Amino acid sequence: MTQVRAENLAAALARGVPPLVWIHGDEPLLVQEAAHAVRQALRASGFDERQVFDGGRGFRAEAFVAEASALSLFASRRLIELRLPGKPNREIGQMLADAAAQASEDTRLLVSGPRLDRATTESAWFAAVDRAGLIVPVWPVERAQLPQWIAARLARQKQRADRDTLELIAERVEGNLLAAQQEIGKLGLLFPEGELPPEETRAAVLDVARYDAFDLVAAVLAGDVARALRSLDGLRAEGVAEPLVLWALADALRTLLRLAEARRAGRPLAQALREARVFGPRERLFEQALRRLDEERLRAALQQAAGTDRMIKGLDGTDAWRGLQDLAMSVAGAPTLAGN
Q: Which of 16-20, 57-61, 205-209, 274-278 has the highest mean pLDDT?
A: 16-20
CATH number for the domain harbouring residue 280: 1.20.272.10
Domain closes at, from 179, 206, 233:
206
Looking at the structure, do residues 32 and 54 belong to the same domain, yes or no? yes
The values of phi and psi at residue 211, to 5°, are: -70, -30
Residues 10 and 134 occupy one common structural domain = yes
Whether 124 and 71 map to the same domain: the answer is yes
* CA distances to 50, 55, 74, 77 from 43, in Å: 10, 24, 16, 9
Kindly state whether residue 275 falls inside one of the protein's structural domains.
yes
Same domain assignment for residues 42 and 110: yes
User: At 127, which CATH number?
Assistant: 3.40.50.300
- My answer on whether 193 and 247 are in the same domain is no
Strands (E), 118-203: 134-138, 159-160, 194-195
* CA distance linking residue 41 with residue 6, whole number of Å: 14
Distance in angstroms (rounded) separating the CA atoms of residues 6 and 135:
10
Phi-psi region of 169 (alpha: psi -120 to 50; beta: other; left: phi over 0): alpha
Residues 106 and 177 in one domain: no
- On whether residue 87 sits in a domain, the answer given is yes
Residues 48, 134: one domain? yes
Range of the domain at 127: 6-138
Separation of alpha carbons 244 and 64, rounded Å: 43
Q: Does the residue 1 lie in any domain?
A: no
CATH number at residue 170: 1.10.8.60
Q: In this predicted model, which residue has the larger pLDDT, 155 or 190?
A: 155
Residue 155: pLDDT over 90: yes
- What is the arithmetic mean of pLDDT over 179-196? 88
Last residue of a domain, one of 163, 189, 206: 206
Instruction: Give the model confidence (pLDDT) of 314-339 as tens digits.
Output: 887 778 999 999 999 999 987 544 44
CB 110 within 8 A of CB 18: no
Residues 46-67 pLDDT 10s: 998 888 888 877 788 788 888 8
pTM beyond 0.85: the answer is no
Please count the CA atoms within 13 angstroms of the CA of 294 that sit on its side-chain side: 2
Distance CA 199, CA 61 (A): 56
